[in-house]
Structure 1
Amino acid sequence: MPSHSLTSPEIFQHVRIVMGMVVGLSVTRLLNGLVRIIQHPNQTRIYPVHIGWVLALLLMLLHFWWWELWLVELPVWTFETYLFLIIYAITLFFLSAFLFPDSISDYTGYEQFFIARRKWFFTFFGLTVVFDLIDTLIKGPAHYAMFSIEYWFRVPVYLVLCGIAIVSSNRRFHLAFVMLGLFYEMSWIIRHFETLQ
């Protein structure tokens, strides 16, 4: 144990190193998958919904890393908070792995793969929505007050859509969901996270 008490910013710097490693692995997996598709376009049939979720998840990971900078202001750190944040980051990595597994040779292409494995993907996606809510609450009332009623509407809507995506293989629904998710995420970031002031 150190001979002096660590400040919250010092603890945050320690924690963000571990979170950064996990987020880095997630981004690497997604980028490698996209590069593999570009390098071998005829090897596996692509699926626009799958590519849409890859882009949405890349955006979510960048957003997550930016969003977590607010933790520097957390007055008290506990091991439980640290563990929660690492599990949150690991959940995002699982989403990346579900989009680009080591092999999809058992499937005819990314469409069949994505629809067949959608229950896993959207279960973990729903978990990230819940983790996002807890993460926001951890940062304190001053933080979540800046989002207005929209945030509290956003969470249940995403959970309902994830529930539908788990049980439904309707291609039109999945296309609409990924388009909504991608554009809404971009809108949310532009409106709320342009600066950290």
Structure 2
Amino acid sequence: MDPQAVNELFPHIRIVIGMVIGLAIARLLTGIARLIQHPKRYRVSLIHLLWVFSLLAELALFWWWEFALSRLSSLTFGTFIFLIVYALTLFLLCALLFPEDLDEYADYEDYFLNRRRWFFGLFALIFVLDVVDTALKGPARWNHYSADYLIQVPLGLGLCLVASLWANKRLQLAMALLHITYQLYWTARVLTAPL
């Protein structure tokens, strides 16, 4: 594929991904607005809110890092499908945080703790998809992050397994705080790394 074709195809791919990510952001923001509009309807949960804000940051980071695809010499339909699956997985994580109703649960914390296996299963998938995404962007990108990936992916997958198995509130709070700390680290890396 010639560079001109990649330049023409990339905005199309970015628009489709942007629509899915936009829906995910809208889901989170609508959920936050519902909490503000009806503060007495369901008790607010710190664990739940930390994951909501963490996923907002995750969506922004995903959107930023996907710009690096514009530098690829070729884009295939397989790459397009992969990116859609990645974006849809992020959307599903957001949809899990704000269900249509909580009738079966006491509050958002009860809901999150009961749905944690789904949440952390999808979250573990994000780690795997991110490795593939980085590999797609070429050897230079992989070499830039490879040492971190050797630590973050196995550690992240292990922590997702632990968090999916135990509903302990302190453990769940620690997981959310650990992930936010991790995101702050990657945000600092973004500020110093080339796209």
Aligning the two structures, in what range does the TM-score lie when normalised by the shorter sequence? over 0.9
1:7 and 2:5 correspond:
yes
Superposed counterparts of 1:142-157, under 5 Å = 142-157=140-155
Counterpart contact for 1:56–1:181, Cα < 8 Å: yes
CA offsets 1:82-116 (integer angstroms, 9 cap, x no match): 00000000000000000001111111101110000
CA distance in 2, matches of 1:183, 1:13: 32
Superposed counterparts of 1:149-168, under 5 Å = 149-168=147-166
Structure 1 counterpart of 2:139: 141
Root mean square deviation, CA, Å: 1.5
CA distance in 1, matches of 2:143, 2:163: 30
CA distance in 2, matches of 1:96, 1:175: 18
Moved more, 186-195 or 84-93: 186-195
Structure 2 counterpart of 1:41: 39
Structure 2 counterpart of 1:103: 101
Matched residue SS, 1:25: helix
Amino acid of the residue matched to residue 145 of structure 1? N
Counterpart contact for 1:9–1:72, Cα < 8 Å: yes
Could you tell me the TM-score, scaled by structure 2's length?
Answer: 0.95
Matched residue SS, 2:49: helix
Give the gaps of 5 or more residues in structure 2: none
Structure 1 counterpart of 2:49: 51
1:113 and 2:124 correspond:
no
Counterpart contact for 1:70–1:139, Cα < 8 Å: yes
Aligned length: 194
Q: In the TM superposition, what is the alpha-carbon distance from 1:151 to its structure 2 partner?
A: 2.3
Q: In the TM superposition, what is the alpha-carbon distance from 1:192 to its structure 2 partner?
A: 2.8
Counterpart contact for 1:30–1:100, Cα < 8 Å: yes
CA distance in 1, matches of 2:139, 2:29: 36
Change over 3 Å in CA distance of 1:85–1:41 after alignment to 2: same
Post-superposition, which runs of at least 4 consecutive aligned residues in structure 1 deviate over 3 A? 193-197
CA distance in 2, matches of 1:7, 1:35: 42
Counterpart contact for 1:147–1:192, Cα < 8 Å: no
Q: In the TM superposition, what is the alpha-carbon distance from 1:6 to its structure 2 partner?
A: 5.2
CA distance in 2, matches of 1:80, 1:117: 31
Superposed counterparts of 1:73-84, under 5 Å = 73-84=71-82
Q: In the TM superposition, what is the alpha-carbon distance from 1:147 to its structure 2 partner?
A: 2.0
